[in-house]
Amino acid sequence: MNVSGRASDGLSGLARLNRATSVGFTALAWAFRNEEAFRLEVLGAAVLVPLGIWLGHGGVERALLAAAILQVMIVELLNTGIEVVVDRISTERHTLSGLAKDLGSAAVMISLLLAATIWGCILLPRFFG
């Protein structure tokens, strides 16, 4: 099932790719509308990805700086998926439900630390080295 509530209907080839792309954009729009953290990360990415491409020396640095920011958004989406599934099962407080959500948040935190580390390792020596 996708965010529209329909199964993939056994599609293949370009039809499947088209459906997957459509579902992906629908899910991104849902996350942007409903998740404040994701909205903030999109706004940050709108600034930091172009900045990273501009500041990077060569393709590898540019790719690392951009990817570091985009991976934060990926982890945030996975965390949101965990939260949605937990809430789908039950909105009642339960130790394991809370743990699942906390672990997802920890993954986001680590992804933010990774992004900061990558940016720091690439850019700090340039400005302070």
Within 8 A by CB and 6+ apart from 43, the residues are none
Catalytic residue status for 36: no
Q: Which of 61, 76, 83, 92 is catalytic?
A: 76
d(CA 125, CA 39): 31
| Residue 43, CA distances (Å) to 32, 49, 50, 57 in order | 10, 10, 12, 24
| Residues annotated as part of the active site | 76
